[in-house]
Amino acid sequence: MYTQRTVICYYVHMNTENEMTNNTAVVYKHSAGGLVFKDNHVLLINWEPPRSTFDFPKGTIEPGESPEATCVREVLEETGYATRIISYIGQTHYEYDWTDGTHHDKRVDYYLLALTDSEGATPAREAHEKFENVWCSIDEAVALITKDIDKDIMRKALEIRDTIKRST
C-alpha cells in the first residue's frame, strides 16, 4: 500500500561570496488525477481568478491511499462525476512558489477514466477549491490548458484512448 508523506526541506541560497542569503521551505507533494472524455470532449476544471487556470481534476494522495484510489476519489469530489480507471497515462513533475513563501515540488500520476455515471452529482469541493467543471472539445482544451506538461498528458491519453478503440 502506498503511503503519502509530505516532506518539507529548505533550500539554502548562497551568494557569490558563499554567504547564505535565505532559506526557502520546500514542500514535496504527490498527487493523482484523471482525464475523462465524453463524446470527443474532455473534462477540465476552470479555476476562478486570481489563479485563472484550466487543469485536470487531481488531488493529494492521503496516507494509506493508492494513487488509483486518490484519482477516482478526487475526480468525484471535485467534479461530481463517478469514474473508473481504464489505464495509467503517466506522471508529470513541476515546481511552483506559493503565496506563503514555500516552494512546491509536485508529482502527479494521471489516469485515463471512464464515466460510470454520466449525469454527475454535486461536487464535494473543499472551501478553497473555487472552480467550475468545463467540458471542452479537444481543440478547445489544447488552447485552454495552462501547462504544456498537461497538454502532453492529454496527447498521451488520446493515444491510449484511440489504441483501445481500435482494438475493440
Q: What are phi and psi of 120, to 5 degrees?
A: 80, 165
72-123, pLDDT tens digit by residue?
999 998 888 999 999 999 999 999 888 888 888 999 999 999 999 877 666 6
Task: Give the global pTM.
Answer: 0.80
Q: Cβ neighbours of residue 105 under 8 Å, at least 6 residues apart?
A: 26, 27, 28, 29, 93, 95
At which residue does the C-alpha cell 504544456 appear? Answer: 148
49-77, pLDDT tens digit by residue?
556 678 899 999 999 999 999 999 999 98
What is Dmax (Cα atoms) for the chain? 64
